[in-house]
Structure 1
Amino acid sequence: MGKLADGLDKAVHEAFTRPIPKSAGARMRYLVRQLKSTRAAAQQLGISQRTVERYVKGQIRTPRKDLAARLERQVAARWQPKIRAQAKQQAATTHGIVIDTRARFGYTAAPGSTDDARLRHLTVALPPTYAARLFDARDQGATDEQLRNIAAEALQETYFKDGGRRASGLLVEYTDVEHIEFGL
């Protein structure tokens, strides 16, 4: 996953009402419950079914670093699906999404204006339509470049063109993303 996809996931995870289980055993039990079998959990994690059973029984307590990371990712992806859907729905219909980014912005504009790309730090509240487009693209498996193009269009229309009140011929290029965070 890319920076934008990870940022969208992180924003949704902040909406959770309960923390993700901390111990490896609790995470494994949750994953087994969600997938309905130890075999399915073992296939998702790339380990043996017997190893999953040992975690569930508490015979193994500390996983290897790579397994711990895979386990955390799998549990986080399935944690509180109704809360996740509700947060996305609110962002896409009423609240919108806040983007905080530090990136290089270049412009294609009318003659006489500066179009040199420069590094900027922006924090902008995007309208719900762009939040919906970002989440829909993320859910459909869009690449980071496609998500960046949607974010660039959103920043262009919302921040640089101020909703159509200025700079009508401006086209914004959004590159070299150093930092990006989303807030719901």
Structure 2
Amino acid sequence: MVDSLGDSLDRALEGAFTRRIPQSAQAQMKYLVKQLKGTKATARALGISQRTVERYVSGKLKRPRQDLRGRMEREVRKRWQPQVRAKARKKAASTDGLVVSTRARFGFTAAPGTTDDARIRDITQALPPEYAAQLFTAREQGATEHQLQQIAADGLARMYFRADNSRAHGLGVEFTDVEHIEIEL
């Protein structure tokens, strides 16, 4: 399965965590109950019964099925260390920017006679803070994967293909068939 740009953004922020997420099912469930302010909301978020949540919290149940274990971990990661996550997001969006590593098909549109056929390229490129800010804002507002890829394509077009807009003015870049994408802060 191909990574999504949104998931890669989330993983990049998780790299800023200063502590590991809770490991046991009981610890994860207690954390979720605290964050979601009750067993009912936790049960709804995980798609299980309220009684099952209570059994994990009390320690009567210890080993969740694999699908439930994955949902629990995802929900915990989503809420873990929000201040650390916000600080990393702010730093990337204001001073540091981010690095995009991708293997995808890039094609170009430019003045007649200068177009290049699309081909697979491996690119690792630092993007300035404004693209980090756009990506994080779009992710928070529920942008589609295609919209996130378009922001990344604009950043790669400016920084990689147009050398920070010092050449190839008017060159449009198409970013498709993503095989791999990884974001680092």
TM range (shorter): over 0.9
In structure 2, the partner of 1:103 is: 104
In structure 1, the partner of 2:156 is: 155
More moved, 122-131 vs 102-111: 102-111
In structure 2, the partner of 1:128 is: 129
Partners of 1:116 and 1:43 lie apart in 2 by: 49
Deviation for aligned residue 1:66 = 1.2
Partners of 2:65 and 2:130 lie apart in 1 by: 42
Give the 5 Å matches for 1:9-24: 9-24=10-25
Tell me the secondary structure at the aligned position of residue 18 of structure 1.
coil
Per-residue deviation, residues 80-132 of structure 1 (Å, max 9, x unmatched): 00000000000000000000000000001234435110110000000000000
Give the 5 Å matches for 1:20-169: 20-169=21-170
What code does the residue aligned with 2:141 have?
Q
Q: What is the TM-score of this pair, normalised by structure 1?
A: 0.97
Per-residue deviation, residues 129-180 of structure 1 (Å, max 9, x unmatched): 0000000000000000000111110000111111111100211110000000
Partners of 2:48 and 2:169 lie apart in 1 by: 56
Alignment: residue pair count: 183
Partners of 1:114 and 1:151 lie apart in 2 by: 21
What code does the residue aligned with 2:107 have?
G
In structure 2, the partner of 1:5 is: 6
Q: What is the TM-score of this pair, normalised by structure 2?
A: 0.96
Instruction: Give RMSD over aligned pairs.
Output: 1.0
Partners of 1:71 and 1:82 lie apart in 2 by: 21
Partners of 1:112 and 1:48 lie apart in 2 by: 63
Partners of 2:61 and 2:104 lie apart in 1 by: 44
Which structure 1 segments of 5+ residues have no match?
A: none
Partners of 1:47 and 1:168 lie apart in 2 by: 55
Partners of 1:35 and 1:171 lie apart in 2 by: 45
Tell me the secondary structure at the aligned position of residue 164 of structure 2.
helix
More moved, 26-35 vs 103-112: 103-112
State the identity as a percent. Answer: 61
Partners of 1:146 and 1:77 lie apart in 2 by: 21
Deviation for aligned residue 1:40 = 1.2
Partners of 2:120 and 2:94 lie apart in 1 by: 31
Deviation for aligned residue 1:39 = 1.3
Partners of 2:115 and 2:103 lie apart in 1 by: 19
Which structure 2 segments of 5+ residues have no match?
A: none
